[in-house]
Amino acid sequence: MVTITQAASEFLANQRIAVTGVSRNPGEHAANCVYNRLKERGYDVFAVNPNVDWVEGDTAYPDLVAIPDGVDAVVIGTAPDHAPSTVQQCIDLGIRHVWFHRGPGQGSANPEAAQLARDHGLAVIDGGCPCMFGPTADIGHKIMRPVLQFIGNVPRRV
């Protein structure tokens, strides 16, 4: 096991990142916040939503398979019941890094999907938000992080 800070640093070292669950209604979903922050910070970021063609003014892809030239990492921002199929796509495509977004509620956390990913050798972060760490962090997320660690929604080690 590694610290969450080390795991986040390794995850954010990837340049091509997909974010699942980016919504056509931007104010309603944390995935949109993550997507926009990664884009603002210069990442090649890809929105995944099978129900729309465009989100946040960019192309939305129906799944990970449809992203041209693939990605190196995925932030899962969908409901937890969608996570197993996303993890399976990561396994099939050779994507090595998966982050299950989780704020104050359940978020996208899915213990079975996280275990499936670990069983296949993927680096898994099962909680918290990329906006809490490294080059994507902001003051609000930095303040939230210790509170969410205290209640268990941000792991200390992964």
Residue 157 included in any domain: no
Per the structure, the complete domain to which residue 123 belongs is given by 4-151
Residue 156 included in any domain: no
Domain at 126, CATH number? 3.40.50.720
What pTM, to 2 d.p., does this model score? 0.96
3-state SS of 92-147? HHCCCEEEECECCCCCCCCHHHHHHHHHCCCEEEECECHHHCHHHCCHHHHHHHHH
Mind listing the pLDDT tens digit of every residue in the chain (158 residues)?
Answer: 899 999 999 999 999 999 999 999 887 789 999 999 999 999 999 999 999 999 999 999 999 999 999 999 999 999 999 999 999 999 999 999 999 999 998 999 999 999 999 999 999 999 999 999 999 999 999 999 999 999 999 999 99
Residue 72 included in any domain: yes
- Going across the sheet that includes 58-61, the strands are 54-55, 58-61, 44-48, 16-20, 73-76, 97-100, 123-126
